[in-house]
Amino acid sequence: MLGYMVNYAVPRLGEVSRSVFVGNKEQISRTKLMGTVVLERLLDLVVMLVLVVFVVVYLLADYRQIMPLLGSETARWIQSLLSLNTALIIAILALASIAALYLIYRLMLLLRRWFPSLQKMFRFLADISTKFTQGLISIKDVKNWPLFILLTAAIWFCYVLMTYIPFTAFDLHTEYGLGMREALVITVVSALGVALPSPGGIGTYHWFVSRSLLLFFAVPEAEGVAYAIVTHLVMMIIILVATPMLLAASRAGWFQKPKRGQDSDPKHS
């Protein structure tokens, strides 16, 4: 939650602050933690792309519905993701990126051999890149893949539920027939709004949510804006209130793991 709170001040700084906080608290390399954060964002991106394609293809009657929201070029780009040629291009770019990283690594080894005076700097860079890579490829250490996939799906289900529950508060589920399917659409669209570099999604979230409610489900703009303001405000209040409390509890040692060999019950003499 610290990361979310920092993002309200400076976009994308929350990921860095989270790595620094956890690294200092758990005595773990901050560089390695940054690698895990990048991995987390890559996984989020993959899930997001899958959901965007699913929403456009299966939940919206016509992909041209998203043109007024995202623009015609973006709409056509999303549609092109379904083509085999695009999949091949993405695979080639991924392989080229891996090859480029390997060539950079080999070049660093050669420079290290040719310029012994720079040994210390190259050792420092190699240490950083090694720790970052360890965090980036930490997904290989997942022991229970079914549980990993189940928890990922559960998290996204909770996101959809967080979108659906306010539908009932605004009576949108009865007046406009908005259910879980429509909540999934709004969740995906709102995630696109939050992903844009704006402090805490302020403005972008409201625009994407209100416009998508109007364009996709004929919810009047006033009701859509009210829905966006209330849902964003509730989440912001929760984060701004709960985060300092959790930080204070963490400093007080409430979340510390008991040391090995330490008795849970005090001994009486």
Does the CA dihedral 37-18-6-225 come out positive or negative? positive
* Nearest C-alpha neighbor of 229 from the set 201, 200, 206, 212: 206
Q: What angle is formed at CA 237 by the lines to CA 12 and CA 218, rounded to 5 degrees?
A: 85
Q: For residue 262, what are its two tokens?
A: 């330490």
Please provide the size of the chain in residues: 269
Question: Are 4 and 23 contacting, i.e. CB atoms less than 8 angstroms apart?
Answer: no
User: Letter for the amino acid at 107?
Assistant: L
Query: Please, which residues have CB within 8 angstroms of residue 98's CB and are 6 or more apart in sequence?
Result: none
Does the CA dihedral 254-149-77-218 come out positive or negative? negative
Please give the average per-residue pLDDT across 132-137, as a whole number: 68
Task: Give residue for tokens 């001994």.
Answer: 267
Domain ranges of the chain: 2-82+142-251
Please tell me the predicted confidence (pLDDT) of residue 222: 93
Report pTM.
0.69
For the ranges 17-26, 70-79, 167-176, 206-215, which has the lowest average pLDDT? Answer: 70-79
**pLDDT surpassing 50 at residue 92:** yes
